[in-house]
Amino acid sequence: MDRDDSWLDEPRPSWPPHGALEGHHFGAPAPRPGPLTERRVVAAAATLGLGALVGLAAYAYLGPSASQSKRRADAPRLTDDAPGRTARQARFGDYAVTGRSVTIDRPREEIYAFWRDFANLPRFMENIVEAGEPEPGLSTWTIRAPLGQTVKVRSRIVNDRAGEQIAWRSTPDSQIETEGKVMFRDAPGGRGTIVETVIAYKPPMGALGQAVAKLFSAEPSVQARRDLKRLKMLLEAGEIATNVNRRDKANKAQQGGPSVQADLSRSATPTAIPTATA
Amino acid sequence: MRALTYHGKMKVQVDSHPDPQIVNPRDAIIEVTSTAICGSDLHLFDGVIPGVLKGDILGHEFMGRVVEVGPKSTLEVGQRVVVPFTISCGACFHCRNQEFSHCDNSNPVEKQDMSETLYGHSMAGLFGYSHLTGGYPGGQAEFVRVPFSDVGPIVIPDHIPDEQALFLSDILPTGWMAADQATVEPGDTIVVWGAGPVGLFAAQSAKVMGAEQVIVIDHYPRRLALARKMGAKVIDRSQTNVLEALMEMTGGQGPDAVIDAVGMESHGFGNFNLPDTIKQKVGIGADRIGALREAITAVRKGGRVSVPGAYGGMSDKFPTGALMEKGLTLRTGQTHVQRYYRELLERIERGEIDTTFLISHVMALEDAPRGYDQFRNNQNEWTKVVLKPKWEKGRQEEGRARTELDMEAGVAAGPRPAALSTEEALHA
Ligand SMILES: NC(=O)c1ccc[n+]([C@@H]2O[C@H](COP(=O)([O-])OP(=O)(O)OC[C@H]3O[C@@H](n4cnc5c(N)ncnc54)[C@H](O)[C@@H]3O)[C@@H](O)[C@H]2O)c1
Ligand SMILES: [Zn+2]
Ligand SMILES: [Zn+2]
């Protein structure tokens, strides 16, 4: 907790802080296209087909020459306006950072209040089994980890401005070192609220590392994106979309949602479907 | 329940599945009374749309009776409804803008990654289509779970028979939106590629909207005859040089707006369509855009291009030069059914639009695999297939497209003779 005060209170764009992000600054070398890893090849082939493969191979073969790359590297670069986390090289010192924005057509105060009641988090965050606030300003999350394990994160609310922002930082006794914030601001043109999350975490080693990998780094932006989209569904449409047509196949977003279950038990009609006659 | 199930490329069969249940509060369960096979289903059948899985229930054009409702549904048990093929929440930015097929909240989150990677954005949920659009169990079934049932289904008065209302689910609004996006102005010539159900409804819509001249292009004589019967001029592309004919039929100016109602499986080998076909055949996912290329080449300078025809992947030799140099406007998309269906239901009630002239066959759901096969391989005779879940296997009836055309003189059931007689040529 005595760590030098961080990016949490900086204005947007909050990344990169303190010039931590090399490669995204004036005069730094421009990123070169990465090597043709197997994963990239598979992804490209899957989306673009064989023609693209041939093209990629040709690019790898004919791609920018050494002198071209040098010329590009020497050309001055300006610091652009994109959030730091969208940099091609997104590592900030010891921390990995991920973040995502979503626009939700509800008032700021309402979304803030929903989020601030941490018991709501498991309703839209896939890997959070349980969340609460055992004492004011201290939150605990139980996170699903591989092999049926769970990991507990304890964090202190370090910034809480109603309708605007909630920021947290893990306590020293937490099993994972992480900090993050969620910001709420009016979307232009009366389109509701832009909800932006930024999460930084220190990827630890060992079994815990695995757990974290599952939570964040396996596909951190995918996870954040999915969670925020579920939040949007819940607040705009009142429920989280699913294609399953049997309750026993539904996931926790449908099954676990206490209000949904309560609603269903109040259902005016019997739950059994008349059996079909062929 | 029984439902038409996808088993792989060109393989569908009617299987038993568990009956659907209410899962979310806004759901309703519909007992299907009529459903149809769509040209879009053929893209799935042919395996050219990614993300269709073995075991998926197909079908997105359906109507029926409400048999169960969730606590937040506004429907009542017993009501008769048509269900739009687009699943829309009614509350997001896009739904509020009446762009229902762009709904942000109807495609399950886990299903959105695929289309987000492929298209840059996730698609809305659609019934019985692909997992790109949610993988929702479809309507060629006895029962369907309908999400957001308070904003999707439209209640149909009992005096309107199923056949007249069924196509409000998709192809009728699709044809209407195609004409709407083409923008019909006084004196306009509107040209439609494809005399399938979508093309026929697009042509009828353009006429209702006041087009001076509507021209429909295809190579199936019976489908063209339906277009002619409905008041359009027709071009048989197997006999006529399309581009030349369109210039001559518009005083050398070219059509004001063109509509591609063919989509990604354009027939024929002209127009660079041969390389497209080969690429599609060897499974590298390219769309066949022969009809769209021809349409873009044909349309006049400053003209409008409307594309209801479905595409799913990428294409080669898209005529960017013609698009830019001629200053064209391109409009497309899955249909925003809920934007149009009320007005269209009123027009049906007032008798202003004919919604049954294109039905060629009505058959039992149990025989749907044969329906797919015929609708795909015998397009001249099979123009639109309606399926009945309650009919016993083997029962089949002919629709107006067959009975009325066959009664008319001058419309041969077989292909037209390849060469015109001298007399015909003089009058052509
Ligand atoms: N935008 C939407 O929401 C929406 C909704 C429904 C259908 N669709 C799409 O609309 C298209 C048409 O649907 P349908 O049910 O009428 O299909 P269909 O297969 O019955 O009809 C297509 C017609 O196009 C003709 N055709 C093929 N190649 C041609 C060419 N080069 N020139 C002229 N005609 C040609 C065929 O002979 C056939 O008659 C499909 O791609 C379908 O997926 C889109
Ligand atoms: Zn359809
Ligand atoms: Zn919506």
Map out the domains of chain B as residue ranges: 2-170+335-398, 176-332
CB-CB: which of B69, B106, B284 is closest to A51?
B284
Instruction: Tally C-beta pairs within 8 A across A and B.
Output: 143
pLDDT at residue A183 above 70?
yes
Region of residue B283 (phi > 0: left; psi between -120 and 50: alpha; otherwise: beta): left
pLDDT at B271: 63
Beta-carbon contacts of B285 under 8 Å, excluding residues fewer than 6 positions away, are A48, A49, B48, B50, B279, B312, B313, B314
- Determine the average pLDDT of the residues in B172-193: 98
Nearest-Cα distance to chain B for A221, in Å, is 11
For residue B57 the two structure tokens come to: 């229930």
Mutate to test the pocket of ligand 1, among B198, B373, B382 (most ligand atoms within 8 A of CB): B198
In percent, how much of chain B has pLDDT > 70?
91
Q: How confident is the model at residue B420 (pLDDT cuts 50, 70, 90)?
A: very low
pTM: 0.84
Tell me how long chain B is: 428
Residue B187: burial class (beta carbons within 10 Å; 0-12, 13-18, 19+): exposed
Task: Report the alpha-carbon distance of residue B125 to residue B133 in Å, rounded.
Answer: 5
Q: Given this model, what pLDDT does residue A254 score?
A: 72
> How many whole angstroms separate alpha carbon A14 and alpha carbon A107?
24
Is B211 a residue whose pLDDT tops 70?
yes
Residues having C-beta closer than 5 Å to ion ligand 3: B 88-89, 92, 95, 103, 105
| Average pLDDT value over all residues in chain A | 70
Question: Which of A69-83, A103-117, B396-410 holds the top average pLDDT?
Answer: A103-117
Amino acid at A213: A
Atom of ligand 1 nearest to the CA of B333: 1
- Where does the pLDDT of residue A97 fall: very low under 50, low under 70, confident under 90, or very high at 90 and above? confident
Architecture of domain B176-332: 3-Layer(aba) Sandwich (3.40)
Q: Under DSSP, is residue A161 helix (H, G, I), strand (E, B) or coil?
A: strand
pLDDT in tens, A215-242: 554 555 677 889 999 999 999 999 999 9
- In the prediction, which pLDDT does A74 show? 75
Q: Do domains B2-170+335-398 and B176-332 have the same CATH topology?
A: no
B53: which 2 tokens? 């899985």
Nearest CA among B283, B272, B260 for reference residue B316? B272
* Closest partner CB to A266 (pick from B29, B71, B279): B71
Dump pLDDT digits (tens) for B351-384: 999 999 999 999 999 999 999 999 999 999 999 9
Q: Is the CB of B178 under 6 A from ligand 1?
A: no
Contact between residue B27 and residue A239 where contact means Cβ atoms under 8 Å apart: no
Centre a 10 Å sphere on the Cβ of residue A252 and count the other Cβ atoms it contains: 12
User: What are A127-166's pLDDT values in tens digits?
Assistant: 889 999 999 999 999 988 767 778 888 999 999 999 999 9
Place of tokens 């429907």: B75
The answer to whether the Cβ–Cβ distance between B125 and A278 falls below 8 Å is no
Q: Is the Cβ of A263 closer than 8 Å to some Cβ of chain B? A: yes
If one looks up domain B2-170+335-398 in CATH, what number appears?
3.90.180.10
Q: Counting ligands in written order, which one lies closest to the CA of residue B90? A: 3
Average pLDDT, chain B: 92
Is the pLDDT reported for residue B9 higher than 90?
A: yes
pLDDT greater than 90 at residue A126: no
pLDDT value at A102 more than 80: yes
pLDDT at position A3 over 80: no
Cα B244 to Cα B232: distance, rounded to the nearest angstrom: 18
Tell me the fold of A84-242+249-254: Alpha-D-Glucose-1,6-Bisphosphate; Chain A, domain 4 (3.30.530)
Q: What angle do CA A155, A161, A164 make, to 5 degrees?
A: 110
How many Cα atoms are found within 13 Å in the side-chain-facing hemisphere of A125? Answer: 21
For residue A251, the model assigns a pLDDT of 79
Domain positions in chain A are 36-74, 84-242+249-254
Structure tokens at B174: 């699709």
pLDDT tens for B25-76 read: 999 999 999 999 999 999 999 988 888 999 999 999 999 999 999 999 999 9
Confidence of residue A116 (pLDDT cuts 50, 70, 90): very high
pLDDT at A264 over 60: no
Query: Among B15, B19, B21, B83, which would you mutate to test the A interface (most chain A Cβ atoms within 10 Å of its Cβ)?
Result: B21
Q: Kindly state if the Cβ of B304 falls inside 6 Å of ligand 1.
A: no
One-letter identity of residue A185: R
* Distance, CA of B402 to CA of B391 (rounded, Å): 20
Please report residues of B whose CB lies closer than 8 A to that of A263: 25, 70-72
Q: Is the CB of B38 under 6 A from ligand 1?
A: yes
**Could you tell me the two tokens for B16?**
């038993």
Q: In angstroms, rounded to a whole number, what is the distance separating the alpha carbons of residues B162 and B376? A: 24
pLDDT tens-digit map of A6-62: 444 433 333 333 333 233 333 333 343 444 343 443 343 344 444 444 444 444 455
pLDDT in tens, B252-308: 999 999 999 999 888 766 666 666 776 666 555 567 889 999 999 999 999 999 999
Question: Which atom of ligand 1 is closest in space to residue B178's alpha carbon?
Answer: 1
Mean of the pLDDT values across residues B330-359?
97
- What pLDDT is attached to residue B1? 97
Neighbours of B72 (CB within 10 A): 19
Choose among A247, A273, A275: nearest Cβ to B23: A247
What ipTM did this prediction achieve? Answer: 0.89
| pLDDT at res. A208 | 59
A190 has a chain B CB within 8 A of its CB: no
CB B17 within 8 A of CB B141: yes
- Report how far ligand 2's centroid is from the alpha carbon of B359 (Å): 14
